[in-house]
Chains A and B, each alone.
Chain A
Amino acid sequence: MMQLIWNGIIVGSFYALVALGYSMVYGIIKLLNFAHGDIYMLGAFVGFFTLSSFGISNETSIPLLLVVLLLSMVTTGLIGVGIERIAYRPLRRSPRLAVLITAIGVSFTLEYGVRQIFGPNPEAFPIRLESSGFEVAGVRVTASQLVLVIIAAALMLVLAHIVERTRQGRAMRAIALDPQGAQLMGVNVDRVISTVFFIGSALAGAAGVMAGAYYGSIDFLMGFIIGLKAFTAAVIGGIGNLYGAMLGGLLLGLLESFGAAWFGGEWRDVFSFAFLILFLTFKPTGLLGARVVERM
């Protein structure tokens, strides 16, 4: 039971990290960025590429994991900024459907680009989590699992601080509410949107590296399902809402962990997407969405 919760929290924190970028991008430019899951995949592959270039494999060093994590975050962050610049910005004034289709195109480009370079078969991630650990309240916890969860939590705290307390964060929220109004405050909307793409993509890249280490293997389609899961998490929490994305990610991780234990692993995805449909039907604003009073 406690073990299921712990596993749910670990997987849930990956979902939350990816869902945050999904939700932030939706919040600021109202785009469902279907390519976001593929940034997570890129994060894993950047880590894989860097480590294998140095001939590293089967490593369990936590400091090394942190270095690779940071490197992947910066790389995927920049890739995210580039994608927005090249693919989405020229369509800022186009119909939503055009941008949505572009996002799907970007997704395929990233997936099959990586397939061209690294091939279609799964690769073993060069860093593993060591399996020795300790028991707390009947739960097997390894040091590196703990590190993963702490990093994820720290990243989310930093993000919450940026969005809630800093000048850039205020600008992000202002654009989400009224882009033209934000422009009248002197906000350089293009630059703030770039920042959002950087942060969101860096978080997804971080999750990709963590997932590589956690699951042990990566492949070019690994971003597809997690993209859908992150979308589900964002919807459960209330899309556009940061805390909603965090909560939604954790809840989804827990749901899957229990669902898989009770009904069998093959039911995991059915479980998540059934929840997506339930929420979209009965509470499309999610758990934390639209709870704000607004006077028209």
Chain B
Amino acid sequence: MAEAEGERQTLGGVDAFVARAKAFCERVGNATVSAISEVGLGAWLLFQVLFWIVMGRGRAQPVRIPATFERAMEVGIRALPIVTMMSVTVGMMLAIQGIYSLRIFGAEDQVTIGVAFSVAREFGPLITGILVAGRTGSSLAARIGTMRISQEIDALQVMGIDPIRFIVAPALIAMTIMVPLLTFWADVIMLAGAGWYVSMELGMSMGAYVDQIRELLRPTDVMHGIWKSLLFGVEITLVGVINGANVQGGAEGVGRMTTRSVVLSISAIIVTDMIFAFITTR
């Protein structure tokens, strides 16, 4: 009797384990499905925006230029101070670390090579992307999420105003223009910051530094970073919009989705960065 009882208990334990494993698999499965469907949603959004850009005017529902301009001001111009500050800092940081590691070989004066390539190909777009994700991606998610819970999106729809044309398209256009421009600006400022430190530390003249950079950097290196940043801009926008549109349950939901959008878009940027580098430099 007692034995049977014990056996049933272990069986119960196994059952519970199996149930838990099942639940776990289900969760993983669901997460995978929702991740894939979110990617699909992103592609659909992109398609819709292109559709409105091309077809909007013919349907007497153009993507509004003033709204796009306003978004561009917000994405680009207002981000200039923070991008500039961070770029100077990162540029100096790169110079400090470069000189430190090259000193091992006594090759400090080669630091320009490392700085030039890493800034143009990596740090310019990456730092800009992360800053824009934190600034604009989050505010986009919050804006759309708030509009959703206050029924502003519904109101647009019943007015016959497509929310994708009215809200998403201007944001996406602004991002694809402004993020590359910001990246170029970040490149210049980073190189300047690095050059300033190098000239102080190694006694190299600023003119010589600039000459070296111009000799080393080919347009393809700069464009590598610029193209990448364009992808980042698109990703940040889509992630922000999708998370905003998925907001459920009041202000708390907005906060949760805003955080999620920042984490996701920064992750997406880093992964894209790696893939892009892998594909284009091999």
A and B bind: no
Interface residues of A (CB under 8 A from B): none
Give me the interface of B with A, judged by CB distance under 8 Å: none
